[in-house]
Structure 1
């Protein structure tokens, strides 16, 4: 029991990492559950509150230890674990790599390592990363690897909620936390799982003075009864809360779509982001052209030509970054090839950022 207390008191003071290399069952699972990261070894590690025998006795359900609490289950379904590796040696090697990204405590700034990657490096391939067809996906991980120092990126929860990417990289040798929508999965929409995953990562970065770099291409929140019944409103609010509460430097780059409430949630200016950039391909609006026109001009629905003309008019007027820039919601519209230089400059400018929030015992995040 005392171990749990120590986990709680150390939370947010020092980074806590749990590595599960064998069975972990019963009440013992709650100690790793309260740490910042959990990593497992495939085929040899298990985590569950009640084992297969108890499950069979109580519910008459027959399940193996692997299917009940193996690494695959916890990395892809339950989100209990943040990653899994094939053997103990690889797992420990990756833990050393992760620790290199983290400060020793909340009193220290993010670690600074020597970097041989020019912060002003220009990457012309980014100019063609976003397809001309707005419905065609592209790999956001490619952008992260081209922005980060030496393409070094340590992804967190890679197998869970793949429609959002979270992980650590470096810019100018300093650790940053990357959060990015992934258009290759569900078009990059936000759902309950993605919101929880990103919110927890953002809060960890805020605890340990790690700046946040957010790449946005989000068409909205995932619609449907399954999401609404599953508490999408509460889970989406967690990410909104986490970003707004974070006092670390926050730099946002909108690469393509940023629609509706999802635009707000993804580190917009309204959520106290410090520097907000957009590529010329950015589309910042309440919703996409087709949906907006069908609502606003419902009376013309039987006239395809009128609808097409209205859609074109909406696209030309609103689906660009310049309306938002005119209103001060963007700091600048930048060329994709200069993204690394602009992000590096913004982080340099913000490295001594100070925020004075009103005193409170603690917040009441919508858990």
Structure 2
């Protein structure tokens, strides 16, 4: 007996699935500057590595004899593939079929993709282009009833955040559940001008009197700056490259340790310029990113969230090939003071370090929490306290370098006092409950007001008190463990890595990742 008839039918169905929404809809999709879903997958993963799951799911049309006449594939593709030789799970929307809305077996396939990543402990990459399974209004008429939102996949999505790396790419107009899936990830990207993200799109929002186009309402220019997504890419190709780069720093799950890459020396072995990197005048700003690039393996710093929470620079980097999470103050924004966004950004990145066993490097220049009416109205203290609590909960190794300012409660979170951490200060470092300049008017108010020359008296007091703030005076009292020559910073980072790498432990943490 031959099964050739069935094999021919199988091949026919596979070919029909490859057509996606049909030539006309695929070309219309391309005309908007967006790649078809199968081409996206091919460009993201290692060549020929995609093993699709559920390729035959969709809606078939049959004649009166039960023969297949036409086939509309499910608009949700999932399966396994490899990126740089390492296995991953893919979950990808096909906008050319019903605009990515709920169709065919998409709901079950979405659940299958989340469970596949969770149970196989593989990184998950979501390529979101539509509502991503939330359904459409047209479905109400087709089904004869409205669905009650239940979010069946949310427990698995939450477990995935605590178990495997999750990357989401918003590649078109994503709304509702699709938008939520993008935000529920460790790393998310939008494409400038071609992707948008909404709670509800322009037609719905117009009903409340706000007439906006898609980019005005939910373009990457909005969400890469408010923290809903981490990054904005210029093209889909650039987004794929950043997704691959992000995953290269992380283990496949919490039950493994982050892999070491080939060690690459910093771009220069001349560190003497660090001795003058920080201006002697405390009010003058300086650029932190060149300091970062000088200290890490050349080309290894991947900044994340550069357009939001801008007083804090965060990202992934390598020291002698070993991946770390890096925090650094940016004095160009609020002088490095933490606002609501900076605190949120800090917690998000610290959770990533804690979840996936990444040591932390922290370059500190923090004058405190942002002050003023706007900070109070935003509730900066509430978000700041959440960040400080996250620090106290961490168990991964920390290495802190106090570059310049460390004042107030915000600076107190430069590492956890509940255990031993590596800590060094540059000679440019100054610290205290608040900057001397800001506290004199309160502490010496009467003495200054009663002086014959208040300005001269203020200057006299400031000079006297400033002489006591030298880090060397603090070092005598063991307030700080070591003051170092800035040129030795890279050497000490290498020593930190050598000591702590063997101490890393696998396994899930006592609390889950918070998106």
Give the number of the structure whose alpha-carbon radius of gyration is greater.
Answer: 2
Deviations 1:286-336 (A, max 9, x none): 111222222221112232222211101111102x22344344342211111
Listed as ranges, the gaps of 5+ residues in structure 2 are 1-150
Report if the CA contact (8 A) 1:251-1:347 is conserved: no
* Partner in structure 2 of residue 213 of structure 1: 361
TM-superposed CA distance for 1:364, in Å, is 12
* Partner in structure 2 of residue 21 of structure 1: 171
State how far apart, in whole Å, the 2-side matches of 1:118 and 1:26 are. 44
Report if the CA contact (8 A) 1:293-1:314 is conserved: no
TM-superposed CA distance for 1:363, in Å, is 9.0
* Partner in structure 1 of residue 217 of structure 2: 68
TM-superposed CA distance for 1:27, in Å, is 2.3
Aligned counterpart for 1:312 among listed residues 443, 448, 463: 463
**C-alpha spacing 1:237/1:79, structure 2 compared with 1 (3 Å):** same
* Alignment partner of 1:286 is 2:441: no
Deviations 1:180-215 (A, max 9, x none): 110111111111110111111011111000111000
Q: TM-score when scaled to structure 2? A: 0.66
SS in 2 for 1:301: helix
Deviations 1:59-81 (A, max 9, x none): 211111111111111001x2111
How large is the Cα RMSD of the aligned pairs? 2.2
Report if the CA contact (8 A) 2:357-2:504 is conserved: no
Aligned counterpart for 2:424 among listed residues 277, 280, 286: 277
TM-superposed CA distance for 1:352, in Å, is 3.2
TM-superposed CA distance for 1:121, in Å, is 4.3
Aligned counterpart for 1:37 among listed residues 171, 184, 187: 187
**C-alpha spacing 1:273/1:70, structure 2 compared with 1 (3 Å):** farther
Report if the CA contact (8 A) 2:205-2:211 is conserved: yes
Runs of 4 or more consecutive aligned structure 1 residues displaced over 4 Å after TM superposition: 118-122, 360-365
State how far apart, in whole Å, the 2-side matches of 1:222 and 1:273 are. 29
Moved more, 188-197 or 95-104: 95-104
State how far apart, in whole Å, the 2-side matches of 1:48 and 1:262 are. 33
State how far apart, in whole Å, the 1-side matches of 2:386 and 2:301 are. 25
TM-superposed CA distance for 1:361, in Å, is 6.7
* Partner in structure 2 of residue 226 of structure 1: 374
**C-alpha spacing 1:104/1:86, structure 2 compared with 1 (3 Å):** same
| Counterparts of residues 245-256 of structure 1 (less than 5 Å) | 245-256=393-404
Deviations 1:122-175 (A, max 9, x none): 511111100111100001111111111014210110111211100011001000
Instruction: Report 1 or 2 for greater relative contact order, CA contacts < 8 Å, sequence distance ≥ 6.
Output: 1
Aligned counterpart for 2:204 among listed residues 46, 51, 54: 54
SS in 1 for 2:503: coil
State how far apart, in whole Å, the 2-side matches of 1:350 and 1:24 are. 42
SS in 2 for 1:176: strand
Aligned residues: 358
State how far apart, in whole Å, the 1-side matches of 2:378 and 2:473 are. 35
SS in 1 for 2:468: helix
Q: TM-score when scaled to structure 1? A: 0.92
**C-alpha spacing 1:273/1:266, structure 2 compared with 1 (3 Å):** farther
Listed as ranges, the gaps of 5+ residues in structure 1 are none
TM-superposed CA distance for 1:49, in Å, is 1.3
Aligned counterpart for 2:472 among listed residues 297, 309, 322: 322
State how far apart, in whole Å, the 2-side matches of 1:166 and 1:277 are. 19
State how far apart, in whole Å, the 2-side matches of 1:81 and 1:188 are. 22
| Counterparts of residues 1-367 of structure 1 (less than 5 Å) | 1-57=151-207, 59-76=208-225, 78-117=226-265, 121-267=269-415, 270=417, 272=419, 274-302=421-449, 303-318=454-469, 320-353=470-503, 362=511
**C-alpha spacing 1:116/1:38, structure 2 compared with 1 (3 Å):** closer
State how far apart, in whole Å, the 2-side matches of 1:131 and 1:272 are. 33
TM-superposed CA distance for 1:118, in Å, is 6.8
TM-superposed CA distance for 1:272, in Å, is 4.1
Report if the CA contact (8 A) 1:122-1:340 is conserved: no
SS in 2 for 1:251: strand
**C-alpha spacing 1:192/1:322, structure 2 compared with 1 (3 Å):** same
Report if the CA contact (8 A) 1:21-1:40 is conserved: yes
Report if the CA contact (8 A) 1:119-1:171 is conserved: no
